[in-house]
Amino acid sequence: MAIGSKIETRGHIVGFREEIQAASGKSADDFFTWFDSAADADASFVRGQWDFSLHIAPFIAKYVPQPETKTILEIGYGGGRILAAAARSFRGAVGVDIHDEAGRVKEELAARGVRNVELFKCDGATWPCPDASVDAVYTFIVLQHVEKIAIWKSCIEETARVLKPGGVAMLYFGRWAPVSLNRALPLAYWAERLTERFFLPQGYKELQAHVNDTNLHVTLSFARKTLREAGFRVLDTTVSRKKVPDGLHQFGSQHGLLVQKI
C-alpha cells in the first residue's frame, strides 16, 4: 500500500486522485497493489476475496435472501479487489470512488470474468446513484482515510439515501487503537473500546492527513448515534483484522457496524 510520508496539504481527495493517477501510469501490479499490501495484482484479488468472505459476507448474509436478485454497492472500490468478490455473490455490484480509473478497473474485472458491475466517479461526499436503488452497501479500509468528519457523515447520509427500505450496510471506519492495533491483545482491544469516548470526547478526532493512512478516528458511540439519526437500526458490532486469513487474531484499525435502514 502506498502511504504518503508527508502531511497531506492538498486535501485527501485531491491527494488520493493525484497519487492514484500517478500509479495508473505504471504496471498492472503497481496499480492494483497501490490499494493494498499484496505482492501483485493476482494476490490483491485473492486477498479481496478473503476480505469480503470474512469482513462483509458473514454479517450481511442473514439479511440478503436470494442475493442472485439483489444489488450491492461498495463505497471506495479502489482497484476492484473486493468488488470482484461482491459481484460474484450478487446479481449486480455498484462501485463509487473519487478516482478516474474506472475504465482500467472495469477492464481488469472483465478479464477476471466479472462483468456485472457499474462504476461511478464521485466527489467523495455524494454519489451519482438513484435513491433506494441497492439492497446492501459496504465499505472496508475507506472511511478511515476520510480527512473530515463532515465527509464521513455525508457518506452515512448517502448510504441511507441509496439503500432500499430494509436494506443493510456493513460499514468499517477508523478506530482509536493505541495498544491493540495489529496485535492479538483482546484485553487491550476491549479496554480501548470501553474508554475511547473519554479520550475522544467529541466522538471523533481528525488527524493530520496522509494519503492512504488513517486520517480519522470515530468512536462507536458517536457512530451509532449518527447512524440512528440517519434512519438506521444497529444490528451488530465488530472489529477488523489486520490481514485475513493470516492475521485473523490480530486486531485491525477499524470498527465495524452492521446497520439496517428502517
- How far apart, in whole angstroms, are the C-alpha atoms of residue 174 and residue 142? 9
Residue 108, domain member (yes or no): yes
11 has pLDDT over 90: no
pTM here is 0.94
Q: What is the pLDDT of residues 179-189, one digit of tens each?
A: 999 999 999 99
Residue 125, domain member (yes or no): yes
Q: Which domain holds residue 117?
A: 12-261
Contact call for residues 161 and 134 (beta carbons, < 8 A): no
Number of separate domains in the chain: 1
Q: Kindly list the distances between the CA atom of residue 181 and the CA atoms of 61, 177, 188, 242, in Å, as whole numbers in the listed order.
A: 27, 5, 9, 8
Residue 4, domain member (yes or no): no
Domain CATH number, residue 129: 3.40.50.150
- How far apart, in whole angstroms, are the C-alpha atoms of residue 173 and residue 88? 25
Report residue 97 as a C-alpha cell.
470512488
The pair phi, psi for residue 223, each rounded to 5°, is -65, -45
Q: What is the pLDDT of residues 102-132, one digit of tens each?
A: 999 999 999 999 999 999 999 999 999 999 9
Residue 2, domain member (yes or no): no
